[in-house]
Structure 1
């Protein structure tokens, strides 16, 4: 399906549904061949599509620069803004999520309830939780309780719910989704019209997706004292994804129209090959794939060859330092000048091919969340078991051979892995670096980096603020002054200024979110 056309199509369907429910007096002389209400079974594909293409990719595009996955070759120009933290109110995750994705989620859940098909209610609430989660983890306070509900007239100046309230709402949505999936009195199957392009109607996988998301959002509360509950997180992980092949992801198509292909395939989602947003993977990412945590022992992760291309000149892997562009060369040394000397971004490997899937959440992430929860509860042995499965499952997904996996794991053990887990910082260094690798290009990585305070004790000495930093906002002399959140978009700021509040870049970009404050 053409992704962008489908966004329009399903938005119009949502509008038709809302209109038909509010103006029943127009039901006279209805044309049976032109229905104003579409069944829930025909809405699921649009819900998944818009949540991915309209919301998730839009929320990942610039964050890929912030988290230093991708770097531009340009030394000047607006396409370098993301990696140097120059953000304004023209960032569009907010608009895309509230215009396209959320109405589809809400409408499908309402239709499922009306039709006696609770599994569609569950799917709608799961996807709604994903959208609210992405929004609040980038902005903080968001519109939730007074947002679109498919029944009431839409408010043009809705209140902003604080992040703690939003997190409680997300958890409630996921609990309700689990109850809905457990309901066996369901009239229409999720894949009745071929619309379940994620799980082909497998209700158990949808249920496990809800549990996996509960684990993710509970794990974000690691700085919130008693609100961080290791037992609840481990319980959610146990009920979540439990084997390979369960990842919740959007499948793109190869040899199709450009909008059916993975957006990272075409120069990081931009159409101009001469002015790309992301040209190469960063040297920081290369270092994570070339060194072990804690000791910084040099060892090449076999996944690097599945993710990026080596330099054709010498077969080595290298990246660029954020903010310097190609003129800066590897790590800013200027040693290499040819663009082919760096790890190509677009169409280079597992994550950026035309048909590369774009995951919402994976089995590997769930196991690494479990590893963190067990480590924080002093279950070192359990943390190591979960960590091992999280790492190896991602390797299997990327096509790493059993022999390569065994060699990599043996080398980690020899480098002191077990001893590192007896220290929380050492254990978190392993877990968070692996989450960075396994969550490649996913905006969820930004949550982890902020929770870990962008610590070099966790991510290693290669993690540094970008060159040519936005010093209008950030202190050039304070190495701990890192970006914390996004600016609300101008349409919300202009229409709803009282509820948005202070939307200056200095306040928004520098103020830690609720879950990132003790």
Structure 2
């Protein structure tokens, strides 16, 4: 696995060689240097680029929007994300369309050509997930005119509406499940040790696809005519059903930089002075969630806090910064605790930011919270609470919390009336979304949830506030209900395909809700 990055670069080179040059360089081919890589050699590239290129790039800046982490500087480019200063230089678009999804498409095409449906299923599962990542940040995206592995690439592709994209995501996942269920596959997905998710266990791939179906169906919560709790619960029942099934893989330590978890080593986390890191420490909002129970705001320290984040070197306390102020603003904007040692480190500072930390695509805990929300919205408070409890405890087990601490935490929940809170939709959602936030650390899915919940303090608690020093060119500093809703399309696409994008101004893009974000 130390050479995964080399495989990725090879796949990208082969993609452009095959798609762009085959009409010009189809003579004098070396029979000992084949230009077609078999499907089993494409699996690792499709998985790793979906994680370390697409999802990482689609969450690095979004972590600031979601208020997981904050910079230590009061000024400068590092604070742009947490104060919503986004422009067309945000590069998820390029990373997904150029570096990631061609691997997924080629895996599908090669699987079809080789007559191996399991490779087709893996490719379609990962492709659907990447389309979901893109559309959930941008809205309308390139779909029908995207590279298909067989035709000439369209340089000025048409865009599809987000509603069309969601229909295609669901279709791709259905097709993937059907492909996985084929009784006549060829070589195993793990034939060349490329299936670093499930080592060729097709039943887990099937559950992975069903779990993704549940996620995207659940995004329709504002679309009354499209939200279908029964369909969501059917997907949940066919999805992950226990610990150890998360779609994730651990990074490795001691290899090249791209072998290590990017929250530890990539994109601004290597400066000698950690105040200059992209993210200096965790936010006060996140710390407050870990120190209070939902709805009542009763003080109770979550046993996961010391696993997720490091305490301050100065006094062993857990505290965070309010987004937009930097270290000069002090704890939670109070002006107190302005020394670096008063805050735990962000990179290499806890379960999610170590060199070997996994970056999950989707987890068992997330699925249980999806189930809890669907049950709650369908009026079954008892089933919703039961799924919620399992979502919380499953995440605690995953993080290694001792059984006694889990039980004590849950007893505190019950004594605080948690089960009765599920008799009210808003209170029940407050429990679900706050716990989902805690279990989804640094995952871009949290931004989807925040927008679906309209950044409600009734849901997330009083600590969720817009950042200080907010981008006042775009956002009204006197309107606390005006929040960021989407991303600006990338510069390259704007310059080359502007007719399809339309209005790509920050004023329009950052303020305009996506299709699923509107009733």
Partner of 2:493: 492
Tell me, yes or no, if structure 1 residue 380 matches structure 2 residue 394: no
Partner of 1:184: 183
Task: Report Cα offsets for 1:27-76 as digits up to 9, x if no partner.
Answer: x6542310110100000000111111111100010000010001000010
Does the 8 Å CA contact 1:318/1:330 hold for their aligned counterparts? yes
Indicate how the Cα distance of structure 1 residues 224 and 143 shifts in structure 2: closer, same or farther if over 3 A, else same: same
Tell me, yes or no, if structure 1 residue 263 matches structure 2 residue 262: yes
What pairs with 1:219-238 in structure 2 (closer than 5 Å)? 219-238=218-237
Measured in 1, the distance between the counterparts of 2:69 and 2:8 equals 27
Partner of 2:304: 303
Following superposition, the deviation at residue 17 of structure 1 comes to 4.1
Measured in 1, the distance between the counterparts of 2:325 and 2:477 equals 16
Indicate how the Cα distance of structure 1 residues 494 and 4 shifts in structure 2: closer, same or farther if over 3 A, else same: farther
Measured in 1, the distance between the counterparts of 2:267 and 2:327 equals 17
Partner of 1:244: 243
Tell me, yes or no, if structure 1 residue 404 matches structure 2 residue 422: no
Does the 8 Å CA contact 1:267/1:345 hold for their aligned counterparts? no
Partner of 2:477: 476
Does the 8 Å CA contact 1:69/1:285 hold for their aligned counterparts? yes
Following superposition, the deviation at residue 269 of structure 1 comes to 4.8
User: TM-score scaled by structure 2?
Assistant: 0.97
Task: Report Cα offsets for 1:315-364 as digits up to 9, x if no partner.
Answer: 21100000000000111111111112123211111000110000010000
Partner SS state of residue 249, structure 1? coil
Measured in 2, the distance between the counterparts of 1:406 and 1:332 equals 34
In the alignment of these two chains, the number of paired residues is 516
Measured in 2, the distance between the counterparts of 1:157 and 1:231 equals 40
Partner of 1:443: 444
Tell me, yes or no, if structure 1 residue 333 matches structure 2 residue 334: yes
Task: Report Cα offsets for 1:425-454 as digits up to 9, x if no partner.
Answer: 000000000110000000110000000000
Tell me, yes or no, if structure 1 residue 218 matches structure 2 residue 217: yes
Task: Report Cα offsets for 1:102-153 as digits up to 9, x if no partner.
Answer: 1110001000011011000000001101110000000000001111111111
Measured in 2, the distance between the counterparts of 1:491 and 1:90 equals 9
Measured in 2, the distance between the counterparts of 1:39 and 1:23 equals 21
Measured in 1, the distance between the counterparts of 2:138 and 2:3 equals 29
Following superposition, the deviation at residue 23 of structure 1 comes to 4.3
Tell me, yes or no, if structure 1 residue 359 matches structure 2 residue 348: no
User: TM-score scaled by structure 1?
Assistant: 0.97
Measured in 2, the distance between the counterparts of 1:184 and 1:401 equals 42
Following superposition, the deviation at residue 16 of structure 1 comes to 3.9
Indicate how the Cα distance of structure 1 residues 502 and 2 shifts in structure 2: closer, same or farther if over 3 A, else same: farther
Indicate how the Cα distance of structure 1 residues 18 and 321 shifts in structure 2: closer, same or farther if over 3 A, else same: same
Measured in 2, the distance between the counterparts of 1:16 and 1:395 equals 47
Does the 8 Å CA contact 2:19/2:153 hold for their aligned counterparts? no
What pairs with 1:76-475 in structure 2 (closer than 5 Å)? 76-266=75-265, 269-274=268-273, 275-475=276-476
Measured in 2, the distance between the counterparts of 1:206 and 1:222 equals 26
Does the 8 Å CA contact 1:7/1:54 hold for their aligned counterparts? no
Partner SS state of residue 190, structure 1? coil
Partner of 1:14: 15
Measured in 2, the distance between the counterparts of 1:5 and 1:31 equals 21
Task: Report Cα offsets for 1:232-252 as digits up to 9, x if no partner.
Answer: 000101100111111111320
Measured in 2, the distance between the counterparts of 1:318 and 1:236 equals 39
Measured in 2, the distance between the counterparts of 1:74 and 1:9 equals 38
Does the 8 Å CA contact 2:313/2:343 hold for their aligned counterparts? no
Following superposition, the deviation at residue 11 of structure 1 comes to 0.6
Following superposition, the deviation at residue 266 of structure 1 comes to 3.0
Does the 8 Å CA contact 2:4/2:44 hold for their aligned counterparts? no
Does the 8 Å CA contact 1:267/1:276 hold for their aligned counterparts? no
Partner of 2:50: 51
Measured in 2, the distance between the counterparts of 1:212 and 1:361 equals 8
Indicate how the Cα distance of structure 1 residues 124 and 384 shifts in structure 2: closer, same or farther if over 3 A, else same: same
Measured in 1, the distance between the counterparts of 2:112 and 2:439 equals 36
Task: Report Cα offsets for 1:143-172 as digits up to 9, x if no partner.
Answer: 011111111111111111110000001000
Task: Report Cα offsets for 1:188-211 as digits up to 9, x if no partner.
Answer: 110001110111000011110000
Following superposition, the deviation at residue 7 of structure 1 comes to 3.2
Following superposition, the deviation at residue 19 of structure 1 comes to 5.7
Following superposition, the deviation at residue 9 of structure 1 comes to 1.5
Does the 8 Å CA contact 2:74/2:324 hold for their aligned counterparts? yes
What residue ranges of structure 1 are gaps of 5+ in the alignment?
Answer: none
Could you say what the CA RMSD is over the residues aligned between the two structures, in angstroms? Answer: 1.4
Indicate how the Cα distance of structure 1 residues 473 and 372 shifts in structure 2: closer, same or farther if over 3 A, else same: same
Indicate how the Cα distance of structure 1 residues 314 and 394 shifts in structure 2: closer, same or farther if over 3 A, else same: same
Measured in 2, the distance between the counterparts of 1:115 and 1:267 equals 37
Measured in 2, the distance between the counterparts of 1:437 and 1:513 equals 25
What residue ranges of structure 2 are gaps of 5+ in the alignment?
Answer: none
Does the 8 Å CA contact 1:143/1:158 hold for their aligned counterparts? yes
Does the 8 Å CA contact 1:268/1:346 hold for their aligned counterparts? no
Measured in 1, the distance between the counterparts of 2:279 and 2:428 equals 31
